[in-house]
Chains A and B, each alone.
Chain A
Amino acid sequence: MSFLSLQGVSRTFGSFTALEGLSLEVERGEFLAIVGPSGCGKSTLLQIIGGLLAPSGGSVRFGGAAVSGPRREMIYVFQQYNRSLFPWRTVRRNVAFGLEDTGLDRVEIERKCAEYIELVGLKGFAEHYPHQLSGGMQQRVAVARALAFGADVVLMDEPFGSVDAQTRADLQDLVLRLWREYRLTVLFVTHDIDEAIYVSQKVLVLSRAPARVRAVLATDLPYPRHQVKTKETPAYLAHRRDLYSMVMPA
């Protein structure tokens, strides 16, 4: 029995079919990148897994149980971090959001907030409001908030789509470090093939809408990865060539 398993999942919006008969198995601790042509339903798939959107057909099972709504073990990190953070809460209180109403006492919440704020490199910014931070720093807050929640599975929807290249590289390395340190399972949607290869153990390629699984390709590259060296290896380049030909047929 798989950790996370999708059987024949479909989703329609009116007359538009976003996903059709999609099946997928994910193992505990895996780092799976999901790529596909733009508008192919990557986010829809992730939202269904996260229980934020109900499938029109098929089933999602997590640890053997059907997923029918958001689950404590999974956390969704939104692409639009600037809309997902609460502008009326400071960095510290944003990170605390997921910990409130869970039975943790104040002291414990504060301790965890400080820990995760430091972990994502935002020590000294705890009392700042989101609008006082850069885009990259805001996304770090969103990552800290998600990890502080203590979920095993992190669903990331194009998390670094709208930050500059340098920040993006830093954030990729940050997520990889946290994934290894906390033995997380990460499902990472991106439209950037290089990013997908750099972070993942496996890349799931979706077809044009209605999306089906086109291929699952293993990324045979050792960790820890290096922003320059990893991308120069023949294995990386061959993997990249294969993926490009699938996502963008000539």
Chain B
Amino acid sequence: MSGFFASKWSGFALIALLLAGWELLARSGVVATVAFPSFTRVFDAFWTLVSTGQMTGLLLPSLARLFAGYLIAVALGVALGVLMGYFRQAYVLFEPLTELLRPIPSPAYVPIAILFLGLGNEMKIFTIAFSCFFPVLLNTYSGVRAVDVIQINTARTFGKGAGATLRKVILPAALPQIFTGMRIALAIALIMVVISEMVASVDGIGYFILNAQRSFRVPDMYAGVITLGLLGYALNALFVWLERHVLRWHIDANRREVA
């Protein structure tokens, strides 16, 4: 038995057990079935979405917004973060502003964004980019500020100018922390794409979930939520894969330190 709990299968078994419990609870009629359809009905709805190709149509607009907003945030966050980490004047200038804006919960920007950008993609991409920007910015400038002065002096003694020092020393040295910010931002991007689509949209996964609930297509609603779970898992797996490739040296070096 202890062998089973130590194996990786115990976690999957727990999920299977919970799904079986869900099925039993729904079929026994203890909970109102309209709000709580059985797992098999939800899975049917999910499978219909996938097999009819509707799923692609649901996810594509959401993924396009997510990546557009996310990539804008990463580009701007890294650029300003490097500036703030590298130049003390930039840090002094921008730090109070970022500290003021950062604690405001991102969904609060949505109504403002609607006023200026309307209900379309611009508003959604802006909200996603704005929310993802701060974790990337913060991690980038603290990563840049933490670059070892000996590495910078090494670049100096080898006669490197500011550009080469930035590209060949500061950015790679700060990259592990930049990735930390990018990972946090990715989770936020998924949250914000759903919120912005629920507030104002005619397509996308967030719109689909809310619309299914309002038109009493309850199994579809659950299927949408499960889709988000799978999507979040897939995005994170993609990120981990990318990180392993880009930061192989860092992961290996730290593993050795622990060992």
Contact = CB atoms under 8 A, between A and B. Distances in A.
Given A76-B153, A86-B151, A149 B252 contact: no
Nearest to B247: A88
Interface in A176-229: none
A131 B161 CA distance: 27
A234 B151 CA distance: 43
A143 interface: no
A131 to B, nearest CB: 4
Contacts of B244: none
B79 to A, nearest CB: 21
A115 interface: no
A86 B172 contact: yes
B150 A84 contact: yes
A102 B153 CA distance: 18
Contacts of B184: none
A75 B154 CA distance: 9
Given A88-B249, A129-B252, A100 B150 contact: no
B167 to A, nearest CB: 10
A52 B159 CA distance: 11
Contacts, number: 61
A230 B219 CA distance: 88
Contacts of B148: 83
Instruction: Determine chain B's interface SS by DSSP, over half rule.
Output: helix
Contacts of B159: 70-72, 98, 102
A86 to B, nearest CB: 7
A72 B159 CA distance: 6
Interface residues of A, number: 26
Instruction: Determine chain A's interface SS by DSSP, over half rule.
Output: loop
A52 B157 contact: yes
Contact of B164 (A75, A84, A87, A101): A101
Nearest to A131: B253
Contacts of A36: none
Quick one: which of B151, B158, B173, B252 has the most chain A CB within 10 A? B158
Interface string B177-201: 0000000000000000000000000
Contact of B256 (A50, A75, A78, A131): A131
B102 interface: no
Given A80-B150, A83-B150, A88-B250, A75 B157 contact: yes
Contacts of B175: 88
Contact of B150 (A75, A78, A87, A89): A78
Quick one: which of B156, B169, B256 has the most chain A CB within 10 A? B156
B166 to A, nearest CB: 12
A156 B60 CA distance: 59
B160 interface: yes
A62 interface: no
26 contacts: A52-B153, A52-B157, A70-B157, A75-B158, A76-B157, A78-B150, A78-B154, A83-B148, A83-B150, A84-B151, A86-B151, A86-B154, A87-B253, A88-B173, A88-B249, A97-B158, A98-B158, A98-B159, A100-B164, A100-B168, A101-B161, A129-B253, A131-B252, A131-B256, A132-B252, A149-B158
Given A89-B249, A129-B249, A132-B256, 4 more contacts: A71-B159, A97-B154, A100-B168, A131-B249
